[in-house]
Amino acid sequence: MWLCAMQLVSGRHWQDNREQIAAELAALPKERPLLVLLPENFALFGERQGYLDGAEALGEGPIQTQLAEWARDYGIWLVAGAMPTTIADSDHIHTSALVFDPSGELKGHYHKIHLFDVDVADNHGRYRESETFSPGQECVLVDSPFGPLGLSICYDLRFPELYRQLARAGARVLLVPAAFTAVTGEAHWEPLLRARAIENQCYVVAANQGGIHETGRQTWGHSMVIDPWGRVLASKESGRGTVLAKMELGLIDELHRTMPVLTHARLL
């Protein structure tokens, strides 16, 4: 069983980004089952109006049609890290992770709960996702051959209570698609990812954007797969590419038996 994180340097236009993704999918190994995680903003990486114009209703639109076709054609579990989706009767949208099974069926979705409204010491400076997006309200698990998949997006990574809730609900793989900035990524990306894996005894698959984008923003890269003991099994520093690692299902059960932190936890 293989876990893959795809790293991209996405731009404003879906057509260009689609070519990047297609090239990476064509180079995947043949073993199955295989799960592929795309990063946040894989389809569109730009400004507010671009996200509003490119947003699709859940289950509709050319981006989702292509995602379903890729999942079916390659026989993979494809998790579309995050893309803009519409909200009925609202001038805001969601940023949403979508899970497609190997038949191309949409098995679940998650709307990003924690919005990135912060100031960062980079050339962009001010980030206010709440000006464009509305927050989701629910934790989401999706059943799969890899065990239940716990969904999250980027800034969620800083909120351990979300991941503990997912782990207590049975998550075996925590998915973290992101567009972490270079400044925050260098400081915190890997320590936070490894902590989420260790404290929840789950595999973590983290797919980040990784380069300098058309907008001038710079993202950190370092997409990786981490095992439940906190070991980084595969990582890519920068640029486009896919990292993958084998999932050992028995490792999670062994840790639950020998170090049962989830049952020892006293503050619920």
In this predicted structure, what is the pLDDT of residue 122? 78
Interval 197-207 mean pLDDT: 98
pLDDT in tens, 214-237: 988 999 999 999 999 999 999 999
| Residues forming the active site | 40, 112, 154
Predicted TM-score (pTM) of the model is 0.96
Query: Quick one: average pLDDT of 159-178?
Result: 98
- DSSP classification of residue 169: T
**Tens digits of per-residue pLDDT, 31-70?**
999 999 999 999 999 888 999 999 999 999 999 999 999 9
- Domains of the chain from N-terminus onward: 2-264 (3.60.110.10)
For tokens 């439940």, the residue is: 228
The sheet with strand 141-142 has its strands ordered as 141-142, 149-151, 173-178, 203-208, 223-226, 232-236
pLDDT (0 to 100) of residue 125: 66
Where does the pLDDT of residue 268 fall: very low under 50, low under 70, confident under 90, or very high at 90 and above?
Answer: low
Q: Of 36-40, 114-118, 139-143, 149-153, which gets the smallest average pLDDT? A: 114-118
Question: Average pLDDT over the chain, rounded to whole?
Answer: 96
**For residue 2, what are the β-bridge partners?**
34, 246
